Structure 1
Amino acid sequence: MKIRFAEEKDLNSIIELCKAHAQYERSSFKEENKKEQLSKHILNPDSEIKCLIAESDTEIIGYATFFKQFSTWDASYYMYVDCLFLKEKARGNGIGKQIMEFIKTCSKEEGCKIIQWQTPNFNTGAIKFYTQLGAARKNKERFFWKA
């Protein structure tokens, strides 16, 4: 098993994982323009958005995206994990922890002392996993407002 940054050849697999991730989190997903947009944002070397791939042999079994954000309250930057998803057969094997450790290393390199993310409150498997990592949680509601 290998964790690495995404490459052009991974885009179709990333889209399939995104679709499965959305379904898992009971959300909608539209494939329209995804390949072009993901290529533009996660493969651009000047982009702040990083995408990791978990690969077993030649199969992509998971992905994570993360990027640096600023906290006004803390007056410092933190790393935000937007997505972390593994195929069901890959869960429970330590791959998620390896991905999070990779993100932690990147965070330290970027001067970020905190990593933040969220998961739906019904995703008990993820909540258990994050708690086992030693992560603390805050209860908040996330809002979406179309511009």
Structure 2
Amino acid sequence: MGSGSASRVAVLVAGPEHVAALLPLIEAHALFERSAATCTEETLRSALAEPGAVLFAWLALDERGRAIGYATATRDFSTWSGKPFLHLDCLYLTETARGAGVGSLLLDAVKLFAIRLGLDELQWQTPDWNVAAERFYLKQGASVTTKRRFRIAV
């Protein structure tokens, strides 16, 4: 298979030292979702830095060590359930990595992290036009909610 063959992919926990590999993927992801990324190297490095990291990240590398996908998550809290949960902020694969099981590897790494934190729920959003992502998430056992996400600059 191509560079996205899951059997030849390593998923690692990404830290500040991986910012140079993460940023191009973040920018490509934003373009894919018809937007633009404004995160800087310094901001991303700071968000991933321990202690007190506010962002957790995973990087998928092909057999040559090239970054072909990433996932990021933050810890959040639901006032309705009264419990914390893990929010999957992003899961993105380069075009050549899609459909080869790499997304499942990344999602499994995020789920394992949630379990290690003692969390029993993972939540996320995806654009309603991204039917391939919806199909992937449903195959992973996810359920769909009907809420829409809004944002406002303050």
**TM tier, smaller:** over 0.9
Partners of 1:36 and 1:30 lie apart in 2 by 11
| Pair 1:49 & 2:52 matched | no
C-alpha displacement of 1:80: 0.5
The verdict on how the C-alpha distance between 1:105 and 1:30 changes in structure 2, with shifts beyond 3 A counting, is closer
C-alpha displacement of 1:29: 2.6
TM-score, length-scaled by structure 1: 0.93
Partners of 2:95 and 2:50 lie apart in 1 by 29
Partners of 1:53 and 1:134 lie apart in 2 by 22
Residue identity matched to 2:147: K
Instruction: Indicate the residue corresponding to 1:22 in structure 2.
Output: 30
Instruction: Indicate the residue corresponding to 2:72 in structure 1.
Output: 65
**1:1-147 aligned within 5 A:** 1-30=9-38, 34-56=40-62, 57-147=64-154
C-alpha displacement of 1:68: 1.4
Please give the secondary structure, in 2, of the residue aligned with 1:40: helix
C-alpha displacement of 1:9: 4.2
C-alpha displacement of 1:44: 3.1
- Gapped regions of structure 1 (runs ≥ 5): none
Partners of 1:128 and 1:37 lie apart in 2 by 33
TM-score, length-scaled by structure 2: 0.89
Contact 1:69 1:79 in 2 (8 A): yes
Partners of 2:15 and 2:151 lie apart in 1 by 30
Partners of 1:111 and 1:93 lie apart in 2 by 30
Residue identity matched to 2:114: S
The verdict on how the C-alpha distance between 1:61 and 1:118 changes in structure 2, with shifts beyond 3 A counting, is same
Contact 1:6 1:43 in 2 (8 A): no
The verdict on how the C-alpha distance between 1:115 and 1:138 changes in structure 2, with shifts beyond 3 A counting, is same
Partners of 1:14 and 1:106 lie apart in 2 by 19
Residues paired across the two proteins, number = 145
Which of the pair has the greater relative contact order for Cα pairs under 8 Å at 6+ separation? 2
1:56-112, Cα deviation, whole Å (9 max, x unpaired): 121011111012111110011111100110101001111111111111111111111
Partners of 1:79 and 1:142 lie apart in 2 by 17
Q: Pairwise CA RMSD of aligned residues?
A: 1.3
